[in-house]
Chains A and B, each alone.
Chain A
Amino acid sequence: EVQLLESGGDLVQPGGSLRLSCAASGFTFSAYAMSWVRQAPGKGLEWVSSFDRGGGTFYSDSVKGRFTISADTSKTTLFLQMNSLRAEDTAIYYCARVVPSSGWSLDAWGQGTLVTVSS
């Protein structure tokens, strides 16, 4: 069974940093691209970042230069390092697995971890 378990969400002050983790199991982690998607309270889904099988990284304009996605294939874990956090980064952050050759559709999602940026 495919499982994705996010952790690391917390309350942080504006300008602060946070590192999210997503532990993957039930599939060959290195064979899939992975993504982070967030959802602000009461709002829709917003793509944040993706990591492809070749190690390429992609970011939305809203987080480019502040967030860094990475993966530890030996530990089958996806990370999102978030720096210079802003109030508008407050959201539930989901990690998700990408369906190969599908236009980056996401077929497995974690339960999410809540990031709150507030003083």
Chain B
Amino acid sequence: SYDLTQPPSVSVSPGQTATITCSGDQLGGKYACWYQQKAGQSPVLVVYQDVKRPSGIPERFSGSNSGNTATLTISGTQTVDEADYYCQAWDSVTDVVFGGGTKLTVL
């Protein structure tokens, strides 16, 4: 099976840059995307096709994907960005795969 690995938690101070990684075998050769899920809410797509932002997602959210690692970067992190973040990719054998999720704390 294909696995995506994320750090369980990341902490950042308001206004600083948060970096969340997602690792998988040759992940750079697949499209990666990222979801934000706030407590008690449904997930929201924040980055897709590695680097694209859906309409309505702030510019402070950006993505990259190379080698074995995809990265979600939040520049100028705000308290409203505190949430769980999940990466996701598609693999020809396993189909849709999610990472285990990263809890972002802004303090």
The residues of A that contact B84 with a CB separation of less than 8 Å are 44
Q: Is the CB of B74 closer than 8 A to any CB of chain A?
A: no
Indicate if the CB atoms of B100 and A103 lie closer than 8 Å.
no
Binary contact readout A74-106 vs B (1 if CB under 8 angstroms, 0 otherwise):
000000000000000000001000010011111
Indicate if the CB atoms of B49 and A47 lie closer than 8 Å.
no
Complex Cα gap A45–B89 (Å): 13
Complex Cα gap A79–B84 (Å): 28
Contact of A102 among B37, B44, B48 (CB under 8 A): B48
Q: Nearest residue in A to B45 (C-beta to C-beta)? A: A107
The residues of B that contact A102 with a CB separation of less than 8 Å are 31, 33, 48-49
One of A21-29, A65-73, A109-117 contacting the partner: A109-117
Q: Nearest residue in B to A46 (C-beta to C-beta)? A: B98
Indicate if the CB atoms of B45 and A47 lie closer than 8 Å.
no
The residues of A that contact B54 with a CB separation of less than 8 Å are 107
The residues of A that contact B1 with a CB separation of less than 8 Å are 61
Interface size on B, residues (CB 8 A): 26
Q: Within the complex, what minimum Cβ distance (angstroms) separates B58 from chain A? A: 16
Binary contact readout B59-73 vs A (1 if CB under 8 angstroms, 0 otherwise):
000000000000000
Contact of A47 among B30, B48, B95 (CB under 8 A): B95
Complex Cα gap A35–B33 (Å): 15
The residues of B that contact A44 with a CB separation of less than 8 Å are 84, 86, 98-101
Q: Nearest residue in B to A99 (C-beta to C-beta)? A: B48
Indicate if the CB atoms of B98 and A105 lie closer than 8 Å.
no
Indicate if the CB atoms of A110 and B48 lie closer than 8 Å.
no
Indicate if the CB atoms of A103 and B49 lie closer than 8 Å.
yes
Q: What are 29 A-B pairs with beta-carbon distances under 8 A?
A: A44-B84, A44-B98, A44-B99, A44-B100, A45-B37, A45-B86, A45-B88, A45-B101, A47-B88, A61-B1, A94-B43, A99-B45, A99-B48, A99-B49, A102-B31, A102-B48, A103-B32, A103-B48, A103-B49, A103-B89, A103-B90, A104-B90, A105-B31, A105-B33, A105-B45, A106-B43, A107-B45, A111-B42, A112-B42
